[in-house]
């Protein structure tokens, strides 16, 4: 594959589908010394498995675009934990971001602009959970949520949540950015506006966002810090080191 400036590639892996012992052994062989130390620290086997698939997905996805073997990739993290391709690879014009939830891992890759991605399993949150999380939203977002019929509130909640997560991950500052200091404005189901408070020192017009549904279970958001209006988004179902099958995501 070639990574063009107007392309965003999204790679998805389902850890529950990957159980081949030989393949998992190959994934473990890709890990750096630091990753090998981190791997056994997860208490539950499910989370160790997810970590292994996630690291393999990042490495194999990046190797689709560059002549670097999956095991050879090195990564840096900033002060807030956002990963990037290490400077030891030179100034490669690539940015990536990862997200995972129960049953799904995703990796977004773009040419030389900041990207944030988020995938959420909407089945893991109840109505009561949603109300407990209102404090993370701006007052206007909360008011908009409460105006919706009950049956639509959960979907809109995940619109807000995934969009906010994608933005703070693209900024690379995590929850040091208050989720209530920026907001999204909807007109029915269409994202109409993105507004940031002055203290965030950001130009909202430089940002673009996309929302997707993946099966009935997952909601996805992608954010990029670019005014390029001609991005093409490609989605791939991946079994790292084995296959990448392109498919069509459902835009929201």
Domains of the chain (ranges plus CATH)?
A: 7-251 (3.90.470.20)
Q: 206-228, pLDDT tens digit by residue?
A: 999 999 999 989 999 999 999 88
- Residue 59: which of 27, 22, 99 has the closest Cα? 27
Q: pLDDT (tens digit, 9 = 90+) per residue, 34-80?
A: 999 999 999 999 999 999 999 999 999 999 999 999 999 999 999 99
Mean pLDDT rounded to a whole number for the chain: 94
End-to-end CA distance of the chain: 27
86: left (phi over 0), alpha (psi -120 to 50) or beta: beta
3-state secondary structure of 78: coil
Tokens read off for 7: 């392309």
Q: Which two tokens stand for residue 61?
A: 């996805």
Residues facing residue 76 across a β-bridge = 84
pTM higher than 0.85, yes or no?
A: yes
In this prediction, residues 158-165 reach a mean pLDDT of: 95
């Amino acid at each position: 594959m070639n990574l063009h400036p107007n392309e965003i590639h999204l790679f998805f892996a389902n850890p529950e589908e990957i159980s081949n012992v030989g393949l998992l052994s190959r994934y473990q062989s890709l890990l750096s010394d630091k990753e090998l130390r981190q791997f056994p620290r997860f208490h539950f086997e499910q989370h160790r498995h997810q970590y292994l698939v996630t690291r393999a997905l990042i490495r194999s996805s990046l190797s689709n675009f560059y002549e670097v073997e999956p095991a050879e990739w090195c990564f840096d993290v900033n002060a807030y934990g956002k990963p990037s391709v290490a400077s030891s690879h030179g100034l490669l014009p690539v940015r990536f971001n990862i997200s995972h939830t129960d049953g799904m891992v995703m990796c977004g890759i773009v040419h030389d602009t900041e990207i944030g991605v988020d995938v959420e399993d909407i089945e893991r949150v109840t109505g009561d959970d949603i109300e407990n999380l209102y404090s993370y939203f701006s007052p206007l977002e909360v008011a908009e949520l409460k105006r919706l019929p009950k049956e639509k509130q959960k979907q809109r909640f995940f619109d807000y949540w995934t969009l906010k997560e994608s933005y703070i991950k693209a900024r690379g500052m995590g929850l040091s950015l208050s989720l209530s200091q920026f907001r999204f404005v909807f007109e029915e189901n269409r994202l109409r506006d993105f507004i940031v408070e002055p203290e965030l020192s950001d130009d909202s017009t430089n940002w673009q966002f996309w929302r997707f549904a993946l099966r009935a279970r997952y909601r996805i958001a992608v954010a990029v810090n670019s005014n390029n209006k001609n991005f093409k988004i490609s989605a791939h179902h991946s079994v790292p080191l084995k296959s990448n099958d392109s498919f069509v995501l459902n835009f929201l």
